[in-house]
Amino acid sequence: MSQQVIIGTVGRPHGLRGEVTVRPRTDRIEERFATGAQVLIGSRPVTVTGHWLTQGRLVVALEGVRDRAAAEQLRGAELWADAENDELDDEEYHDATLIGLAVVDPDGAPLGTVTAVQHHPTQDLLTVRNDAGEWLVPFVTELVPDVDPEAGRLVVRPIPGLLSEVPDED
């Protein structure tokens, strides 16, 4: 079975014929949303029948979604696709590769586990869970200098407040 990657999240309906806006979560929009491309909504395969940009928003038409009511039912749904043909650059990782990795400091001391990856316009954030709670770590080389999926870990350079509370200086 091939690995699945998230490629977008359905937003509001667009128009009356069942098209939806999509917040893309891929750099390969033209390929992922090409006419005839297969996407998964949950475990249900759906064929893309077209896509275009309107006022900077991605609009996608999906087979079987014929009216605004059907489009509204998809709001918030995640769109997934096969990752088997993805060519990643060095230092690029699928979310599924990062989730579950142990987080350690540069000396190898455990700091937590990656539980999610959040994609924001300015940078990606790793959600790291440890005994003190959940923390957001910017996924940048200065803070995450080493990612080693084969070893099941990634290194984080902890700075005060990154993975623990900073005590007040009262």
Same domain, 58 and 118: no
pLDDT in the model for residue 84: 64
Tally: H helices and E strands in the chain: 3, 12
Give how many domains the chain has, as a whole number.
2
What pTM does this model have? 0.61
Residue 33 lies in a domain: yes
pLDDT in the model for residue 73: 96
pLDDT in tens, 52-100: 999 989 999 999 999 999 999 999 999 998 876 556 666 778 787 899 9
pLDDT in the model for residue 71: 96
pLDDT in the model for residue 3: 75
Regions of the chain with pLDDT less than 70: 1-2, 84-90, 166-167, 170
The boundaries of the domain holding residue 67 are 4-82
3-state DSSP helix/strand/coil % of the chain, to nearest 5: 10, 45, 50
Residue 89 lies in a domain: no
Do 5 and 88 touch, CB atoms closer than 8 A? no
CATH code, domain with 149:
2.30.30.240
Question: Could you give phi then psi for residue 135, rounded to 5 degrees?
Answer: -135, 145
pLDDT in the model for residue 1: 45
Q: Please identify, among 43, 61, 82, the residue that sits at the C-terminal boundary of a domain.
A: 82
Q: What is the dihedral of CA 90, 96, 98, 101, to 10 degrees?
A: -140
Same domain, 67 and 113: no
Residue 167 lies in a domain: no
